[in-house]
Amino acid sequence: MSADKRGMHGIWGNRWTFILAATGSAVGLGNIWKFPYMAGENGGGAFVLMYLLCILSVGIPVMMAEVLLGRKGRMSPINTMREMTNKENAPHAFRGIGWMGAVAGFFILSFYSVIAGWTLAYVGKMASGEFSSATAAVTGDVFGQLLGDPWMLTGLHTIFILMTGAVIARGVKHGLENSVRILMPLLFVMLVLLLGYSMTTPGFSQGWSFLFNFQTAALTSDALVSALGHSFFTLSLGMGAIMAYGAYMPANASLGKTILAVGVLDTLVALTAGLVIFPIVFSYGLEPDSGPGLLFQTLPIAFGNMPGGAMIGTLFFLLVLIAAWSSAISIAEPAVAWAVERGWGRLRSTIIVCGFAWLLGLGTVMSFSDWSGKQIFVTETVSHAVNAELVAEEEAATEAEVVSTKFHWYADVNELKAAAAEGFVVKTEGKTFFNVLDFLTTNLMMPLGGLLIAIFVGWFMTRESVAAEARVKSPVLFNLWRFMVRYISPVAIFFIFIEGLA
């Protein structure tokens, strides 16, 4: 299981191809769909600050470590980690990086594809002119109707999985290069144009300060865990995706600049998306914390109210779809590459991986409609109806206004709410099927994978072998990076974990 498998999936032409592919993996729904709503739910500026710190202190150093492992192993993450643990005499536990990554890949692909399906729906909706001079009420209704149509969502999810499988089955190199080289820059240009639009809206300064000013009260440990998790999600980190791509990177390219470029591009796209979306949120009286629908409820208002908006909007959602597509391909790559190494053949491996992800995706489809009430880890809060509004304004609610809080391992929250006695209001907080998959992968598996990667490269590989593989020219930068990987990144991940559990 070694020499003959090395490099069997091919090696990319040059450093640029790697940058393009890694950017294609990194830039996706995480930047345009997820980052804005996470920031909105976690207090805006405080979240953004913690997210940026996580990217710098954990994300970029761990990304270098992960790519380094991939390039050294030149196999699927599972077999790369098998070989590396043997070579460095490290505990077998580190092989968990590869396995956990393949499982996380299934999970992520399953819901990623469903959301990409929403984007696909919006390409059609924009093109049909459905949003011309749309208000917040209209975009809210349209989004709600889409979510309430599981058949439609399943169809879109199916199309997206087929699109993804078609590229994976032919090998990642084909098809990907052009889409990233041309369409990714175009997506960025579109975002900058939209930013121009947002700047003309009355809510621009409010949107800006929502993202970049913070109240210390919002620096909570929940938000910190989310920020760390999201920095992994957005950089495609800790689950082997970027390791699998590293395996196709030419041996002589330096890791430092390459990875930094990917990290900076990804961050720029996310911040720009936030700066486009929040001014619209405030200009049109939407709620920043409205969750996964945020992107789909805000931008159509902008498109509906600008000249040529139907065309611009169609193109925009098409580009987001393509960005999601190039990311989805990389999500499946660790599992598929492993199956190919087992001798299953690329087509069969793709069908198996995508097939299971499709099936699991049906759970996410349902969790936005019929199953939306079915949740686990539910905290139920009952308060007097007169004080309910205060309760909604979080801090304003004192313990006295809350009549009772109850914890349920599982509950149908719609039933809990319907069962509220006269004069009382029931509020619940729990996790749907989608929330569970998202939490498991983003907040647990990916940071844990990153922790193991940092410890492995920082402590189980010799300085010499790391230096030889990294090819960072400046000794100062190399030492700085190694210090981060040995101390800063693992300690940061560890403490954030502990904080989150407490």
Copy the structure tokens of residue 53. 């710190």
Tell whether residue 239 is a contact of ligand PFF (CB under 6 A): yes
Chain positions 12 to 31 lying near Na ion, rule: CB under 5 A, are: 26, 30-31
- Near ligand PFF by CB under 6 A, which window of 36-44, 153-161, 200-208, 326-334? 326-334
Residue 365's contacts (CB-CB under 8 Å, 6 or more residues apart) are: 114, 150, 153, 154, 157
Query: Using H for helix, E for strand and C for coil, what is the string for 382-420?
Result: EEEHHHHHHHHCHHHCCHHHEEEEEEEEEEEHHHHHHCC
Q: Would you give the binding string for Na ion spanning residues 288-307, x where CB under 5 A is met?
A: --------------------
Looking at the Cβ atoms of 282 and 325, the one nearer to ligand PFF is 325
Q: Which does 110 bind (CB under 5 to 8 A by kind): ligand PFF, Na ion, none?
A: none
The least distance separating ligand PFF from the CB of residue 324, rounded to whole angstroms, comes to 7
Residue 130's contacts (CB-CB under 8 Å, 6 or more residues apart) are: 142
| Residues 387, 392, 396, 398, CA torsion sign | positive
Q: Produce one character per residue of 356-395: b if its CB has 16 or more CB atoms within 10 Å, e if not.
A: ebbebbbbbbbbbeebbbbbeebebbbbeeebeeebeeee
Residue 265's nearest CA partner among 176, 330, 187, 195 is 187
The least distance separating ligand PFF from the CB of residue 321, rounded to whole angstroms, comes to 12
Tell whether residue 26 is a contact of ligand PFF (CB under 6 A): yes
Burial class (CB in 10 A: 0-12, 13-18, 19+), 491: middle
| Residues 208, 212, 218, 222, CA torsion sign | positive
Looking at the Cβ atoms of 26 and 247, the one nearer to ligand PFF is 26
Tell whether residue 28 is a contact of ligand PFF (CB under 6 A): yes
Q: Would you give the binding string for ligand PFF spanning residues 189-228, x where CB under 6 A is met?
A: ----------------------------------------
| Residues 384, 385, 390, 393, CA torsion sign | positive
Number of Cβ within 10 Å of residue 74's Cβ equals 22
The least distance separating ligand PFF from the CB of residue 79, rounded to whole angstroms, comes to 18
Q: What is the DSSP letter of 373?
A: T
- Near ligand PFF by CB under 6 A, which window of 117-125, 141-149, 232-240, 429-437? 232-240
- Near Na ion by CB under 5 A, which window of 62-70, 226-234, 244-252, 492-500? 226-234
| Member of 234, 375, 383, 428 binding ligand PFF (CB under 6 A) | 234
> Are 131 and 125 spatial neighbours (Cβ–Cβ below 8 Å)?
yes
- Near ligand PFF by CB under 6 A, which window of 23-31, 59-67, 186-194, 337-345? 23-31
Total residues at the site for ligand PFF (CB under 6 A)? 15
The least distance separating ligand PFF from the CB of residue 236, rounded to whole angstroms, comes to 3
The least distance separating ligand PFF from the CB of residue 103, rounded to whole angstroms, comes to 12
Q: Would you give the binding string for ligand PFF spanning residues 92-121, x where CB under 6 A is met?
A: ----------------x-------------
- Near Na ion by CB under 5 A, which window of 186-194, 195-203, 263-271, 489-497? 263-271
Tell whether residue 164 is a contact of ligand PFF (CB under 6 A): no
Q: What is the DSSP letter of 201?
A: S
Longest dimension (CA), the chain: 72
Across 294-390, the runs of DSSP E, i.e. the strands, are 374-384
The least distance separating ligand PFF from the CB of residue 23, rounded to whole angstroms, comes to 10
Looking at the Cβ atoms of 45 and 77, the one nearer to ligand PFF is 77
In the complex, which residues of this chain contact ligand PFF (CB under 6 A)?
25-26, 28-31, 108, 233-234, 236, 239, 241, 327, 330-331
In the complex, which residues of this chain contact Na ion (CB under 5 A)?
26, 30-31, 234, 266
